[in-house]
């Protein structure tokens, strides 16, 4: 659908693909961001937009000469990876439960990390730059090494999916783990301290920012790029392990040739050119969707997911949604839904079906079909997937 310009009294217009009016708190958050003096052109809201911290999740904010760390968020580089395999649905017959158990044994979830550091991890070139990160993370290199190749918790997941032609896909969702969170928190604290010292009048303390040309900006930008690299490679390490498990079950361990590989962030910032000017683009719960960019838009556990190709829509800063978007908070979901609801809504999916994942029930998310319909001018669908195995973080 085409975007609509929201009736908000702001310095920069707010363009929305949500297809509905924002709630009171969502409108306040959009108004706060769009009123910042360094916001470029307009703010774009994706179809899955919902409340975040400082800035809305599902928002794309382009800025000139400044950046807001809290708008990027604390899971720097969080994103998705997917691989289209040469395998078919028939080859999965009778193997789903064991595949899930093997994934859970090979890839740590939640707060867990790897007991040993594999060579692929220790050889990552990013470690050479660790000593230049924020001083307060210098004791965390060992933990960061052990966490690379781990999933994390919350809405992170690993899935075996089938497309509409019964082709097997591998898909996972994760970010920069503890190290990314700590880096973000340290820089957000610095930004707030600077704002307080300067007596800045901000509509929200979480909109404290760094100005280009200052040491604080340079330090944050450096650490941001490092954490985004960590998150990207974290997904590479996990996908390699995941792929070996599936190869063992479906091809006797013979290495496969991927038919398509996608690895994309949806919580990050980059310097890009839009409307002929160099700007900093913060995508908080949004995927880059330039022409021919491949992206991944997952539904909730038990719903469809989509592999997409961007259309390069300038009004969205060449962006699209990053998922279904939450309809209710985790606490509200736990109160609203029962274990029976979870079992019913995840029928046909080999996954955990216990009270510990009720907050990730499909009913707690927006209908993915509507999210996709609202961004037909942003992306085209390349493949429609449905999970048959789901491992939650």
State the catalytic residues: 322
Distance CA 254, CA 246 (A): 10
Q: Other C-beta atoms within 10 Å of 98: how many?
A: 12
């Amino acid at each position: 659908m085409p975007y609509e310009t929201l009736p908000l009294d702001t310095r920069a217009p707010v363009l929305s693909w949500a297809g509905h009016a924002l709630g009171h708190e969502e409108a306040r958050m959009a108004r706060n961001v769009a009123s910042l003096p360094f916001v470029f052109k307009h703010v774009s809201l994706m179809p899955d937009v919902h409340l975040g911290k400082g800035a809305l999740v599902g928002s794309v904010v382009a800025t000139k000469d400044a950046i807001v760390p809290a708008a990027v968020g604390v899971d720097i580089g969080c994103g998705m990876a997917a691989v289209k395999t040469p395998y078919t649905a028939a080859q999965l017959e009778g193997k789903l439960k064991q595949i899930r158990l093997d994934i859970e044994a090979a890839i740590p979830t939640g707060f867990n990390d790897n007991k040993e550091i594999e060579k692929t991890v220790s050889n990552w070139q990013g470690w050479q730059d660790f000593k230049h990160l924020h001083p307060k993370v210098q004791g965390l290199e060992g933990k960061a090494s052990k966490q690379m190749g781990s999933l994390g918790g919350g809405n992170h997941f690993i899935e075996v999916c089938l497309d509409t032609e019964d082709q097997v896909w591998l898909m996972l969702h994760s970010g920069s783990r503890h190290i990314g969170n700590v880096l973000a928190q340290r820089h957000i604290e610095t930004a707030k301290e600077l704002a307080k010292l300067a007596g800045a009048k901000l509509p929200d303390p979480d909109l404290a920012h760094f100005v280009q040309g200052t040491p604080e900006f340079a330090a944050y930008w450096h650490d941001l790029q490092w954490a985004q690299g960590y998150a990207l490679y974290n997904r590479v390490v996990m996908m390699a392990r995941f792929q070996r498990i599936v190869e063992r079950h479906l091809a006797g361990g013979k290495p496969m040739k991927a038919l398509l590989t996608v690895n994309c962030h949806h919580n990050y910032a980059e310097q890009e050119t839009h409307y002929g000017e160099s700007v900093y683009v913060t995508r908080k719960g949004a995927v880059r969707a330039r022409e021919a960019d491949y992206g991944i838009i997952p539904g909730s556990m038990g719903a469809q997911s989509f592999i997409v190709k961007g259309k390069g829509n300038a009004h969205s800063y060449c962006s699209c949604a990053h998922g279904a978007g939450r309809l209710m908070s985790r606490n509200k979901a736990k109160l609203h839904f029962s274990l029976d609801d979870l079992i019913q809504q995840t029928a046909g999916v080999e996954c955990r079906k216990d009270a510990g994942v009720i907050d990730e029930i499909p009913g707690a998310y927006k209908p993915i079909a509507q999210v996709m319909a609202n961004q037909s001018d942003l992306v085209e669908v390349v493949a429609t997937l449905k999970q048959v195995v789901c491992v939650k973080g």
